[in-house]
Each structure stands twice: as C-alpha cells, then as structure tokens.
C-alpha cells in the first residue's frame, strides 16, 4: 500500500468534517452519530499517517498550513454546534421529565453527613 500524500489526507479530513457538519445541520440523530464516529476514527487513522510530516510542521507550505488552520476552525465550529444541541436536549429533557431536577439522595446536613434520626420509639431512657 502506498503512503498517502498530505494533500489527499487534508482533502479526506475536509470531506469528513463537511459530512459531520451537514449531519448536524440536518438534525438527523442517527446520521450525526454515524458521522461523528466515522470522523473520530478517521482522525485517529490520519494522525498515525501524518507522523512522517510532524517534524516538518514549521516548514509546511502556507497553503497546507492554511488548510490545517481552516480544519481546526471548522472542528471548533462543529464542537460549538454539538454543545448547543446538547444544551437544547438537556433543557428539553428537564421540561419533559421534571424529576431530573430533584436530587436522588437527600443532601447532607453537615460536613459528616446527616444526623441520626430517631424512630420515636424510645422517648425517655431511665436507668
């Protein structure tokens, strides 16, 4: 198998990021999950394939460096879109299931937990 060129890796990363961004815009939940998973796995593979070019980082041509910066900016935008969608889903969940707002366990009364509660059985002890 031949080594892919930096140009082909950047093009493939841009295409994957475009698919993920499109899935977020359309709002298809299943498509978002599939595209996010495929983008994540492709980034891991691309990271391993980019190892030969990592020492050349400062010496990249301006066009390649600009494409990498554009990829980073696009990834930041996709991350912000995902965070916004997460916040909307979280708010909707709290509206639909109000029990999500109440704690499951009682809050501790002090630094060492709640005090002992009497059952009311032994009101007075005498010897």
Give the start-to-end residue ranges of the domains of the chain: 6-101
Mean pLDDT, rounded, of the chain: 80
Q: Is the pLDDT of residue 36 over 80?
A: yes
The rounded distance, in Å, linking the Cα atoms of 21 and 77 is 9
Q: Is the pLDDT of residue 116 over 80?
A: no
Q: Which residues lie closer than 8 Å to 6 by C-beta, 6 or more apart?
A: 50, 53, 64
Q: pLDDT digit string (tens) for 57-103? A: 666 677 877 888 899 999 999 999 999 999 998 999 888 988 777 76
Do the beta carbons of residue 32 and residue 23 sit within 8 Å?
yes
CA separation, residue 65 to residues 8, 16, 43, 112 (Å): 14, 18, 17, 56
Q: Which residues lie closer than 8 Å to 62 by C-beta, 6 or more apart?
A: none
| Single pTM value for the model | 0.65
Do the beta carbons of residue 17 and residue 71 sit within 8 Å?
yes
Q: What's residue 1's pLDDT? A: 44
Provide the terminal-to-terminal Cα distance of the chain, rounded to the nearest Å: 90
Q: What's residue 120's pLDDT? A: 66
Mean pLDDT of 8-33: 89
What tokens were used for 81? 């879109």
């Amino acid at each position: 198998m031949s080594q892919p060129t930096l140009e082909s890796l950047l093009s493939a990363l841009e295409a994957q990021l475009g698919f993920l961004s499109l899935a977020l815009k359309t709002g298809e939940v299943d498509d978002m999950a599939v595209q996010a998973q495929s983008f994540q796995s492709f980034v891991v593979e691309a990271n391993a394939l980019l190892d030969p070019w990592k020492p050349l980082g400062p010496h990249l041509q301006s066009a390649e460096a600009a494409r990498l910066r554009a990829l980073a900016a696009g990834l930041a935008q996709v991350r912000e879109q995902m965070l916004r969608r997460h916040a909307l889903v979280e708010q909707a969940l709290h509206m639909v299931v109000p029990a999500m707002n109440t704690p499951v366990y009682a809050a501790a009364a002090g630094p060492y937990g709640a005090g002992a509660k009497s059952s009311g059985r032994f009101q007075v002890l005498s010897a």
